[in-house]
Structure 1
Amino acid sequence: MIRTRTAWAAAALMTATLAVAAVPAEAAPVAATKAATACPTGWGSLDKTFTASTSKPLTDIRTGRHDCYDRMVFDVPGAGTSELGYSVGYVDQFYLDGSGRLVPVSGGAIIEVRLHAPAYDPETGTASYPGVPGRLLPGVNLTGYRTFKDAKYGVSFEGDTQVAIGVRARLPFRVQVLPDHIVVDVAHTW
């Protein structure tokens, strides 16, 4: 095959153009990655207590997922922060107050929450929270939670209400008292 000078020039120009197109003059910017969430530390896993008590009844238990922890909120409307007492800590097994019946709780560790508030109206004895001893907490769905694996109602006995939280492992937790609420947060990691 015989090439003309024009054909050679066109081929050389095409090769040079392809070579330049293959090497960008400037690197394309890389999309910024989301910064890792800085999670608080220092909560610890030792028991936490506050000895106050109230006759205002527990009305609801709800949960929430956050970047660093799973949260359980105990609603006690009308109770001030100085009235909301609790005892929260890890236990080897969960037993119902009064009967001593063992309740199985899933997960690698169990946190027992004792609210110093009844789950019934003290004047009428009418239940204010629909928990059934030894059963899952009504209305609580833990699908997709990183730390919470199970949540069982204990009993409400002599003004105290018990709940078990099955967690993935023994992890740090904190307890906060807010007007009308006790909040238990369990970290995803140490």
Structure 2
Amino acid sequence: MNIHHITPKTIIAALAVMAVPAAAFAAPVLTGSAAAPRNTSTTAVAIASCPRGWGSLPEANSRMTQAPVTAVRTGRHACYDRIVVDIRGRAPGYDVRYVKNVYTDGAGHLVPLRGGAKLQVVVRAPAYSSTGAATYSPKNARELTNVAGYSTFRQVAYAGTFEGQTTIGLGVRARLPFRVYTLAGPGSNTRLVIDVAHHW
């Protein structure tokens, strides 16, 4: 630039540019729907890393045990919702399957369940001791745990205990794949675990 041609207007324009804050040239922060592509990508990665090979057909083990049920718990995980049945003693057998409706043990009364599909969980263990004392007696048989906000679970209900086995009704969002297994511990206790996936 030829300094002899600098005019007062040129000087004022240059000073105006220098006075603009650096933040005015920073990249925009995406919020709301503009940030959706980033969240969608993260969700896609999470789904891709979830376990595969689960199915929706019945899973069963005929082993019976006198070790009683003591608690029912649920939890949320990245790829699935989980229900855990605590057993005071050896691992029980089970029968877990999708059904049209779940009914109470013995009396055969309908157990209403929220959700697009119903999973019947039969634990081959009683909810009472060898003397007949209850080892698991929920305060609210229709809502064993609070599953508000869960991706897959819609309701967990108690269908009773009869002739050495205990039944739980699980209302889920849709007919989704699941897996069933048992875990040892803590101590001499065991746990029956059912995981129901968020997606196929």
Q: TM-score range by the shorter chain?
A: 0.7 to 0.9
Equivalent residues, number: 176
Structure-2 residue corresponding to 1:100:
108
Partners of 2:23 and 2:143 in 1: how far apart?
62
Structure-2 residue corresponding to 1:166:
171
**Is residue 87 from structure 1 mapped to residue 95 from structure 2 by the alignment?**
yes
User: Structure 1 residues 110 and 27, CA, compared in 2 at 3 Å: closer, same or farther?
Assistant: closer
**Is residue 72 from structure 1 mapped to residue 83 from structure 2 by the alignment?**
yes
Structure-1 residue corresponding to 2:199:
189
Structure-2 residue corresponding to 1:41:
52
Cα shift at 1:178: 0.6
**Is residue 124 from structure 1 mapped to residue 141 from structure 2 by the alignment?**
no
Q: Counterpart amino acid of 1:108?
A: G
Cα shift at 1:135: 2.8
1:46 counterpart SS class? coil
**Is residue 135 from structure 1 mapped to residue 138 from structure 2 by the alignment?**
no
Aligned identity (percent) is 44
Structure-1 residue corresponding to 2:187:
none
Cα shift at 1:16: 6.8
User: Structure 1 residues 172 and 11, CA, compared in 2 at 3 Å: closer, same or farther?
Assistant: same
User: Structure 1 residues 14 and 43, CA, compared in 2 at 3 Å: closer, same or farther?
Assistant: same
| TM-score, with length taken from structure 2 | 0.77
Unaligned runs of 5+ in 2: 31-37, 185-189
| Residues 117-136 of structure 1: per-residue CA shift (max 9 Å, x gap) | 00000x2100000147x932
Partners of 1:145 and 1:89 in 2: how far apart?
20
Cα shift at 1:144: 1.1
Q: Counterpart amino acid of 2:116?
A: G
RMSD: 2.9
Contact 2:68 2:87 in 1 (8 A): yes
Cα shift at 1:70: 0.6
User: Structure 1 residues 96 and 9, CA, compared in 2 at 3 Å: closer, same or farther?
Assistant: closer
User: Structure 1 residues 22 and 87, CA, compared in 2 at 3 Å: closer, same or farther?
Assistant: closer
Q: Counterpart amino acid of 1:187?
A: A
Cα shift at 1:97: 2.4
In terms of fraction of residues, the more helix-rich structure is 2
User: Structure 1 residues 22 and 181, CA, compared in 2 at 3 Å: closer, same or farther?
Assistant: closer
2:11 counterpart SS class? helix
Partners of 2:131 and 2:198 in 1: how far apart?
41
Q: Counterpart amino acid of 2:67?
A: K
Moved >4 Å (runs of 4+): 15-19, 21-24
2:8 counterpart SS class? helix
| TM-score, with length taken from structure 1 | 0.81
Instruction: Please show how residues 53-68 of structure 1 align to structure 2 within 5 Å.
Output: 53-68=64-79
